[in-house]
Structure 1
Amino acid sequence: MKTIKKVLKILGILLLLLVVGMYILFVTMTSPKSDEDVIESFKEAPVKPILEHKTYKNFSYRVLSIISDSNLPTLIFVHGTIGSCMDFSRYMMDKDLVKKYNMVSYDRIGYNYKDKNPVQESIAFERDLLDNLISETMSDSIILAGYSYGGPITLASKKKIANLVLLAPAVYSKVEPMPWMLNFYKWKLTRWLVPDIWKEASKEKMSHQKDLMNFESNWKVNPNNIISIHGDADWIVPYSNSEYLLNHFPKEQFQLITLKDAGHDLIWSQFSNIKQQLLNL
């Protein structure tokens, strides 16, 4: 009996250590990287990155750029919830894409490294910040690529650009799921367990459905040619989001590219497919 209790005690301690270790790893992996770590990540890149801190309405945010030729078109990436400028680092280090585009990625407010500002929970604010960034970009040709929550931000912009690429865009309020894991943030007893960056993501996720209602009936006023790339196995941002857009835009303006069996991690898991679509532009 004593032996069994001792074994169970050891197993319990090991299990606790495993859970704590996984939690620390989870926090570390999902937290924004420092400026030094971002630059270090690009040490093997074909073009040296430029890391700047810009200001919009007294909010400071971080912008990561790859500028290989001032005459090239500029591809601007907008990350989702949760996310950072580093979500698109593989694209920005790709030797083929570097030959075709200058590339820009940025941390949205609330997702910067050690950001003291909360997320703004506003597509309108995010759109205006993006429009301001576009205005500061010295390029005659702009392509926007918005992933997940970044999809409605890019779609809300009224600026005339070369192309708009939506990557699993969360644009339709009626199919917006609320994951059970959000309860860890909702419940006061467990909120302390949620890392700060995920608290911001939770707030943004919980307000997204209502905020979408201010925009979704007017998506069709976007003047640009649009490509939506979406996995049909995406349960975080259902494929029906892109089907909704397909029914609201004329065929000559909107193209839906379906990635079979792909989930919401498509910007990583479907890198080759998405890269080819960007090259095709």
Structure 2
Amino acid sequence: MRKRIIRSVLLLFVLIPLGFTACMQTRQATRQGMVPLQDARYKALSYSGRNLGYMHLHRNDSLPTLFFLHGSPSDMSVYNTYYQDSSLAGWANIIAADRPGYGMSDAGNSEVSVRRQARAMWKILEKEGFPSPLYIIGSSYGGTVAAKMAMQKPGKVDGLVLVSASLAPGMETTYDISYLIRHRIFRRILPYKITVANDEKLSHYESLSEMLPLWPEIKAPVIMFQGTRDRLILPENVKFARERLINSPYVEYHMLENERHFLQLKYKDLILERLRALIGKKATSGGNLADYN
């Protein structure tokens, strides 16, 4: 027990500077992304006592809309390379949100309920007139929220892309340090992104368990990407989801050999290629994907 405490304390002293570095890099990425995103519309709304911030880019009602959800700890700037992709602008609209507790969405004010996070994201899409067709891309914890959104309003989701997504209760790693840094003294010295992510982490099992009976509600096609050496969100999450997506007309999965958790940037081209193929097939087949291959 004593050795575990010592290890946790030592890890904490490593985590603090890493956390500050991560936050600095995020701010820098956001600033760098502002010039290429000069046509973006940054918006805000209030919902259930919270402020929500999001971005709309390339508004064209004849195109499908991609809704991006980031993981933890992060914000919507993590997808800057997608927003800056000029070829993507030719075939899709983009909406990206800061999830509750991050960026422009009440930074530092944690929301540990996946159900309430998903409702907040739907509020953004409601303000935008429920764009259709709609494809939701979620990485890590954002993938959890994306799946929950598809359970809440199955008729409004045309496709899901889940990247390293936490979907199964207990099939992720929670380190001992998570229980240490939840205490007030550490919350005062750690960057808010670390404490918010930790709050989400420690409440994840409960939210995922709440989702268990709702998997048949997902009626949209699903594409999943997962690293075979991911030790944060275990590869077993993909098998779990495949077995429960019984009403999805099409399920595609990519198990990326020897890859770990952070895939959304390295595999951007593959992710967009598979998503565009899905959009094209769904459009030409009238929504019947039984023969998709």
Other-structure match for 1:142 = 134
The C-alpha deviation readout for 1:86-128, integer Å capped at 9, x for no partner, is 1111111111211111111111111125935521100110111
Assess, with a 3 A threshold, how the Cα gap between structure 1 residues 55 and 28 changes in structure 2: closer, same or farther.
farther
Structure 2: state its 5+ residue gaps: 1-12, 279-293
Matches within 5 A, 1:97-136: 97-113=88-104, 115=106, 118-136=109-127
Other-structure match for 2:274 = 277
Other-structure match for 2:207 = 211
Query: Scaled by the length of structure 1, what TM-score is found?
Result: 0.82
Assess, with a 3 A threshold, how the Cα gap between structure 1 residues 186 and 109 changes in structure 2: closer, same or farther.
closer
Larger radius of gyration: 1
Query: Scaled by the length of structure 2, what TM-score is found?
Result: 0.79
Q: State the Cα distance separating 1:202 from its structure 2 match.
A: 0.7
The C-alpha deviation readout for 1:247-267, integer Å capped at 9, x for no partner, is 122474322222222211101
Q: Distance in 1 between matches of 2:268 and 2:30?
A: 20
Q: Distance in 2 between matches of 1:26 and 1:83?
A: 11
Q: Distance in 2 between matches of 1:32 and 1:126?
A: 25
Other-structure match for 2:34 = 42
Name the % identity: 19
The C-alpha deviation readout for 1:42-95, integer Å capped at 9, x for no partner, is 3235x6222112222231121122125332111001111212011111111111
Assess, with a 3 A threshold, how the Cα gap between structure 1 residues 136 and 39 changes in structure 2: closer, same or farther.
farther
Matches within 5 A, 1:1-281: 26-30=19-23, 38=30, 40-44=32-36, 48-113=39-104, 115=106, 118-138=109-129, 139-157=131-149, 158-159=152-153, 160=155, 161-186=157-182, 190-250=186-246, 252-281=249-278
Q: How many residues align?
A: 260
**Over aligned residues, Cα RMSD in angstroms?**
2.7
Q: Distance in 2 between matches of 1:122 and 1:114?
A: 15
Letter aligned with residue 43 of structure 1 = V
Structure 1: state its 5+ residue gaps: 1-18
Q: State the Cα distance separating 1:40 from its structure 2 match.
A: 4.5
Maintained 8 Å contact 1:32/1:113: no
Moved more, 108-117 or 208-217: 108-117
Q: State the Cα distance separating 1:209 from its structure 2 match.
A: 1.1
Maintained 8 Å contact 2:164/2:262: no
Q: SS at 2:264's partner residue?
A: helix
